[in-house]
């Protein structure tokens, strides 16, 4: 996939937004500064949709393999992070606590995004095929048919 500069710039803006959001109370106490950064997660989701569509459209790898690779690529680090957080929170390792946090995606605040990401990755092929089919319909509607007179 060819890197698009505007996507990289948008990702950098989203990263700054996430950092600004997470540093409230540590670096600054002002709620209005935090409100400015609320766009960051939405921007990440939009960019993920755009780059996933481009990736699906240009890849020779079957879509189900791309989806599986992405899910494995996020789940394994998530399990490790959950394990570390549970040891830190509980001051030791307890299976019940670990499984509860792992399944509920609540070992720490940002873990909700992992569940959201997995759900979006699972939905991505459906959205991709939907957009692809609507694109074909739009092309058919805009393409003049044989033996038709185009009036300008």
Which tens digits make up the pLDDT trace of 61-104? 899 999 999 999 999 999 999 999 999 988 999 999 999 988 88
Q: 51 and 76, same structural domain?
A: no
For residues 67 and 126, membership in a common domain is answered with: yes
* 81 in the same domain as 25: no
Burial class of residue 86 (count of CB atoms within 10 Å of its CB; 0-12, 13-18, 19+): buried
For residues 40 and 90, membership in a common domain is answered with no
Q: What is the pLDDT of residues 29-71, one digit of tens each?
A: 888 888 888 888 899 899 998 889 888 888 888 999 999 999 9
Same domain, 100 and 48: no
Q: Does a structural domain hold residue 143?
A: no
Whether 54 and 68 map to the same domain: the answer is no
Are both 95 and 107 inside the same structural domain? Answer: yes
Q: Which two tokens stand for residue 64?
A: 């189900």
Contact between 20 and 34 (Cβ < 8 Å) = yes
Residues 53 and 80 occupy one common structural domain: no
Domain count for the chain, please give it.
Answer: 2
Question: 143: pLDDT confidence band, cut at 50, 70 and 90?
Answer: low
9 and 44, same domain (yes or no): yes
CA 98 to chain centroid, in Å, comes to 25
* Same domain as 121, residue 90: yes
Indicate if the pLDDT at residue 7 is higher than 70. yes
Mean pLDDT of 101-129: 87
Residues 6+ apart with CB under 8 A from 21: 34, 37, 38, 40
For 22, the enclosing helix (H) or strand (E) is helix 5-22
pLDDT of residue 136: 73
Taking only the tens place, the pLDDT of each residue in 9-27 is 999 999 999 888 888 888 8
| 2 Cα distance to chain centroid | 19
Say if residue 80 is in the same domain as residue 130.
yes
47, part of any domain = yes
**What 8-state DSSP symbol labels residue 24?**
B
Host domain of residue 22: 1-58
* Between 103 and 137, residue with greater pLDDT: 103
The predicted structure's pLDDT at residue 35 = 84
Per-residue model confidence (pLDDT) at position 87: 92
What confidence score (pLDDT) does residue 37 get? 85
- Please tell me whether residues 85 and 129 are part of one structural domain: yes
Integer angstrom CA distances of residue 31 from 17, 23, 24, 39, 41: 14, 11, 8, 14, 17
Q: Residues 2, 76, 54, CA angle at the centre, nearest 5°? A: 20
Residue 118 within a domain: yes
């Amino acid at each position: 996939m060819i890197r698009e500069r505007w996507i990289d710039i948008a990702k950098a803006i989203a990263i700054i937004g996430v950092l600004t959001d997470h540093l409230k109370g540590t670096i600054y106490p002002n709620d209005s500064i935090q409100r400015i950064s609320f766009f960051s997660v939405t921007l990440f989701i939009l960019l993920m949709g755009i780059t996933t569509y481009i990736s699906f459209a240009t890849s020779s790898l079957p879509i189900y393999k791309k989806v599986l690779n992405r899910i494995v690529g996020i789940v394994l680090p998530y399990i490790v992070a959950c394990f570390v957080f549970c040891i830190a929170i509980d001051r030791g390792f307890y299976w019940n606590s670990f499984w509860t946090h792992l399944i509920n995606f609540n070992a720490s605040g940002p873990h909700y995004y992992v569940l959201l990401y997995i759900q979006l990755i699972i939905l991505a092929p459906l959205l991709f095929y939907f957009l692809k089919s609507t694109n074909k319909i739009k092309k058919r509607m805009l393409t003049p048919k044989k033996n038709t007179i185009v009036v300008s």
